[in-house]
Amino acid sequence: MIKTPCSTFTLESIMCCMFGIKTFDVAVYFSLLKKGASNVNDIAELLNRDRSTVQRAVQNLVNAGLVKRKQINLKEGGYFYKYEAIPFSEVKEIIKCTMEKWCNEVKKWIDEVNEEDLENIVKEML
């Protein structure tokens, strides 16, 4: 049986695998996608989670490129951040392009590997 990086093929598992994020991060992404630009407190209230938990998830999403952060300056001084999910059409395109590149690289490696390479790989492993 062949093992794959994603053990199941659900939208959630594919996003976790492709972007290196967690299940809760995916839930936060889709909450932002549905609700629109929001601050961490609004998301925490919507998902009934602790603010710090949501803050970590949002930071993971920003780092993965799935969410954009915008600073809002207050008239009386200070600021806060609003977070907005990138469109799902962009997420799908990123996943498709990444998979295509990965498949092409694996095929290229398979075509180019020879017996001598294999012997060297085995020697390095042992």
Q: Is 66 found in the same domain as 37?
A: yes
How far the first Cα of the chain sits from its last, in Å, is 25
Mean predicted confidence (pLDDT) in 67-93:
96
pLDDT of 2: 55
Name the percent of the chain lying above pLDDT 90.
75
> What is the pTM assigned to this prediction?
0.82
Q: Is 11 found in the same domain as 40?
A: yes
- pLDDT range class, residue 114, cuts 50, 70, 90: confident
Strands (DSSP E) along 1-126, which ranges? Answer: 67-73, 79-85
Q: What is the pLDDT of residues 24-68, one digit of tens each?
A: 999 999 999 999 999 999 999 999 999 999 999 999 999 999 999
Structure tokens given for 7: 């053990």
Q: Which amino acid is at 35?
A: K
Q: Is 110 found in the same domain as 72?
A: no
- The rounded distance, in Å, linking the Cα atoms of 110 and 48 is 48
Q: Is 51 found in the same domain as 2?
A: yes
| Number of domains into which the chain is organized | 2
- pLDDT range class, residue 124, cuts 50, 70, 90: confident
pLDDT of 4: 64
Largest CA distance in the chain: 70
CATH number for the domain harbouring residue 78: 1.10.10.10
Q: Which amino acid is at 51?
A: R
DSSP-derived secondary structure letter, 38: B
Q: Decide: 41 and 53 in contact? Cβ < 8 Å.
A: no
Q: What is the pLDDT of residues 1-15, one digit of tens each?
A: 556 666 678 899 999
Domain of 92, in residue numbers: 87-126
Q: Is 102 found in the same domain as 73?
A: no
* 71, β-bridge pairs: 81
CA 58: distance to chain centroid? 11
Name the percent of the chain lying above pLDDT 70.
94
Element (DSSP H or E) covering residue 68: strand 67-73
Strands (DSSP E) along 13-104, which ranges? Answer: 67-73, 79-85
Q: Please check the confidence at residue 115 and state whether its pLDDT lies above 90.
A: no
